[in-house]
Structure 1
Amino acid sequence: MHTIPLDYETLRLIWWLLLGVLLIGFAIADGYDLGVGTLLPFAARTDEERRILINLVGPTWEGNQVWLILGGGAIFAAWPALYAASFSGFYLAMIAILLALILRPVGFKFRGKVYDPRWREAWDWCLFVGGFVPALISGVAVGNVLLGVPFGLDETLRPHYDGNFFGLLSPFALLAGLVSVGMVVTHGAAVIAARCEGPVAARARTYGGLAAIATAALFALGGLWVAFGLDGYVVTSAQDAFGPSNPLGKTVTQESGAWMANYGRHPWMAIAPILGFVGLALAFVGLAFRLWKTSILGSSAAIFGIISTAGLSLFPFLLPSSIQPGASLTVWDASSSHLTLFVMLIATVIFLPLILAYTVWVYRVMSGPVTATSIGRNPNAY
C-alpha cells in the first residue's frame, strides 16, 4: 500500500481552509448578485433602471452559484458528520434559502414576458426576496453556530436535532444576519456604482455608503457581544489530530468569552477583523469619491475579513453542540478518512484553478458599463 504524502493533521487543516475559501468565494462572487437584488426596488425606480440592474447580474449570477455547490459538496465529502448534523438541523432554513434562490431565475425569465407594470413590480419584489433572504438566513446560520446548535449524537454517531426554525431567530443570530445583509449590500452597491451611470449609480453610492457604516457598527457590536456576552466552547481533553474521526471521544465545556481565546494564543488572527473594518472603510471611501476599484476591492476584503473572523474564532470547532457539548464537531474529529481527503485534494488542485480561470474569463468578457443604450442594442437582454 502506498504511503500518503501528507499526514492526516495537515490534510484536515487544508480542508478546513478550503472550506473557508469556498464559502468566501461564494460570498464574494454571488454576494454582489444578492446585494444587487436587495437594492433593486430602492436603487432603481423606473422599469428601465430596473432592467439595467437585472442585466448587470443576468449574465453571471448562475455561474456564481457554482461556489455554493462546491461548498456543499466539500462539506458532504470532507466533513460528512458536519453535513449530516447541519443539513438536518438547518433543514427548514436551507429550504427557505433554496426557495428564495429559485425566485431569481424565475424572476429573470418571467418579468419581461408581460408588459404590465404590476406584473413587473411583483417580480421585482421576488428578486428582492431572492437577494435579501439568502443573505439574511446565511448570516443567521453563522450566528447560531457561534451560539451552539441544539443537536446531539447517539452511540452510533447518528445526529438528532432538538430545535426548530423559529428557535434559530435569536437576537444575536439576527444581528449576524444583518451583518451578512449589510456586507452584500455594500458589495452590490460598489458593483452598481462602478458599472452603471446616472441616478442608479448615484443611489447605489448613497445606499452603499450607509450599508458600509451600518455593517461596521453591527460587526463591532457583534464582536463586543461575543467577547462579553456569549459563552463559547473549549475542548478540555486531548484530541488526536492524527486519529480516526470520533466526535464523542472528547470533553467540552462552555466558558464566557471563549471564542476570543484564539486571538490571545495567536495574535496574528486579529488581521481578520481588522481587514473587515478596513475593507468597509475602503468601500465607503471608494463609493464617496467614485474610486470604483477601491470600493469593489474594499467590499471584497470586508467579506473576506468578516467571514474569516467567524472561522478563526470558532477554530477548531466546526459545529458546537449546545445540548451535548461533548458531541461538538471539530476539525480533528469530523472529517472523512485520510485517503478520502487526499484523493479529494488532488481533484481540487486540478479543477479549482480551472473554475477560477473560467470565472475570471467570464467577468472579463462581461465587463464594461451596463446602460439603457447597451441593453437596447442587445437582443438577449432581459
Structure 2
Amino acid sequence: MILYELIDFDILRVIWWGLLGVLLIGFALTDGFDMGVGALLPFVGRTDVERRVVLNTIGPVWEGNQVWFILGGGAIFAAWPPLYAVSFSGFYLAMFVILAALIVRPVAFTYRSKRDGAGWRTAWDWALFTSGAVPALLFGVAVGNVLLGVPFHLTEDLMPMYDGNFASKFFGLLHPFALLAGLVSLSMLLMHGAAWLNLKTEGPVVARARSIGIKAGLVAMAGYALAGVWLALGIDGFAIVSEVAVNGPSNPLYSEVSRGGSWLSSYADRPWITIAPVMGFVGTAMAVRGLQAGREVSTLLWSKLGITGIIASVGLTMFPFILPSTVDPNSSLTVWDASSSHQTLFIMLVVTLIFMPLILAYTSWVYKVLWGKVTEADVTENNDTVY
C-alpha cells in the first residue's frame, strides 16, 4: 500500500505509455525479423534445401517471439480501454487481414514438409511470404493513420463512433502518407530479416540476403526521411489547448484539443527526443554498412537500434496523444485521459515487474541454446529438423 500511495496516477500513466512502447518495440525486434525472413524466403532460397535452411533459422523461435504481440494487445486492452475499443473497431478489417496472415504462418510451417512435391512446397513458401510481408506493411499503414488522425468521435456517454462505411474502414486507411509509412515498415523489417539471415546462414543464402537487405535499408532511410518532411510540411498536428489535468478522470472529453501546426513542434518543446530519429538513421545506416562488410552480430544489433529509434520517434513526437481524432479533436485519446484506473495500472505494473524479467530470462536462454548457424547439412542430415 505504501508503494501504491507513492506512485501518483500521472506517473503510472506515463509508465504504462512507455511500457506500451516497449512491448511494441519488443514485438518489432523479435517477431519483426521473423516477418522479414518470411518475406525474403522466395528470393533468398533458390532450392528446397536453401529454403529449408532459411525456415530453420526462425522455426524454433517464431512462436515465442509472438508473445510480444499478445502482450501488446493485452496491455492495450487492460491499460488503455478506450484505445482498444476505438482502434480494434475502426481498424477491424485491417486487423482481420493481419491476423489472417499471421494464422497462415503456423499452418505453412506445419504442412510445407508433409509432401515432397515442388508445387506443394512452393505454394506454402509464398504463403509464408504473405504472412511476413502483409503484416509488416499493414502495421506501418496503421502507424501512418495514427499520425494522420482517425475519423472517430465519442458520444456523451463515451461510446466510440467510427465514421464511414464498412469498406472505407479498410480502403480509407490507404492514404498516400500511410502507404509511405507502410513502405518504411516493410523495408525496415526486410533489412532486419536480412540481418538475421546474415547471422544465421552462410553461402548463397547469406549473399542474397545481404544484397536485398542493403537495398531495403536504403529504402527505409529514404522513406523515413521523406515521412519526416511530409509531417513537417503537409500534415497538421494536434495540441491540448485547455489546462492539462494529468491526474484527472479517464474521460477524453474532459480536455479541449485543437488541430493545426506541426507534429514536429514537439522537438522544439522537448529537444531531447531528437535522440529517437538519430537512433533510427544511425542504426539503419550502420546496419546497411554491416551488411556490406559482412559483419554479423553487430549488424543485427544496429538493425535493432534503428528499429527502436524509428518506432520510438512516433510515440515521442505524438506525446501525449495516443490516438487523435480528425472528426472531433476533443475526442482524441491522450495519455492523461484514456487510461484505466490508478489501482488497475498499479496492479498491472506489479505483475509486469514479476513476469517481464522471467520472459526476458527465458527468451535469452532460448537464443543462447540455439546460437550458431543453420547449414545445409543440418537440414539434410538431422532428423530433428522438420521444416
The reply to whether TM is greater than 0.5 is yes
1:351 and 2:355 matched: yes
Q: Between Structure 1 and Structure 2, how many residues are aligned?
A: 381
Counterpart of 2:291 in structure 1 is 287
Identical columns (%): 59
SS in 1 for 2:339: coil
Off by >4 Å, runs of 4+ in structure 1: none
**Equivalent of 2:191 in 180, 186, 191:** 186
Q: Does 1:141 align with 2:142?
A: yes
1:374 aligned to 2:360? no
Query: Paired residue for 2:209, among 204, 208, 213?
Result: 204
CA deviations on 1:161-220 (whole Å, 9 max, x unpaired) are 114210000100000001000111111001101110110000001001111111000000
1:72 aligns with 2:76: no
Do the aligned residues in 2 keep the contact of 1:190 with 1:283 (CA within 8 Å)? yes
CA-based RMSD = 1.0
Could you tell me which residue of structure 2 aligns to residue 339 of structure 1? 343
Matched residue type, 2:45: A
Deviation at 1:291, TM superposition (A): 1.1
| Aligned residue type for 1:295 | T
Pick aligned residue for 2:251 from 239, 242, 246: 246
Aligned to 2:133: 132
Partners in 2 of 1:373 and 1:93 — Cα distance?
41
What TM-score do the two structures reach when normalised by structure 1? 0.98
How far apart are the structure 2 equivalents of 1:291 and 1:201?
11
Q: What is aligned with 1:38? A: 39
Cα distance in 2, alignment partners of residues 151 and 379 from structure 1: 54
Q: Distance in 2 between matches of 1:244 and 1:356?
A: 34
**Which string of whole-angstrom CA distances, capped at 9 and with x for unpartnered residues, describes residues 291-333 of structure 1?**
1122101110011000001111110000000101100000000
Would you say the 8 A contact 2:252–2:338 is kept in 1? yes
Deviation larger for 157-166 or 90-99 = 157-166
Distance 2:319 2:44 in 1: 39
Aligned to 1:91: 92
CA deviation vs aligned residue, 1:103-160 (integer Å, no higher than 9, x gap): 1100001111111111111100000000000110000000000000011110110101
Is 2:49–2:379's contact at 8 Å kept on the other side of the alignment? Answer: no
The reply to whether residue 320 of structure 1 matches residue 321 of structure 2 is no
Deviation per CA, 1:336-374, whole angstroms, max 9, x where unpaired?
000110011000000001000111111111111001111
Q: Which runs of 5+ in 2 are unaligned?
A: none
Answer whether contact 2:283 2:306 (CA < 8 A) is retained.
yes
What is the DSSP-based 3-state SS (H/G/I as helix, E as strand, rest coil) of the residue aligned with 2:254? coil
Q: Which amino acid aligns with 1:218?
A: G
**Contact 1:237-1:251 at 8 Å conserved across structures:** yes
Among 151, 161, 170, the residue aligned to 1:165: 170
Q: Which residue of 2 aligns with 1:120?
A: 121
Return the match for 2:365 from 331, 353, 361. Answer: 361
Contact 1:4 1:339 in 2 (8 A): no
- Number of the residue aligned with 2:104: 103
Distance in structure 2 (CA, Å) of the matches to 1:348 and 1:208: 35
Give secondary structure in 2 for the equivalent of 1:41.
helix
CA contact (8 A) 1:53 1:192 kept: yes
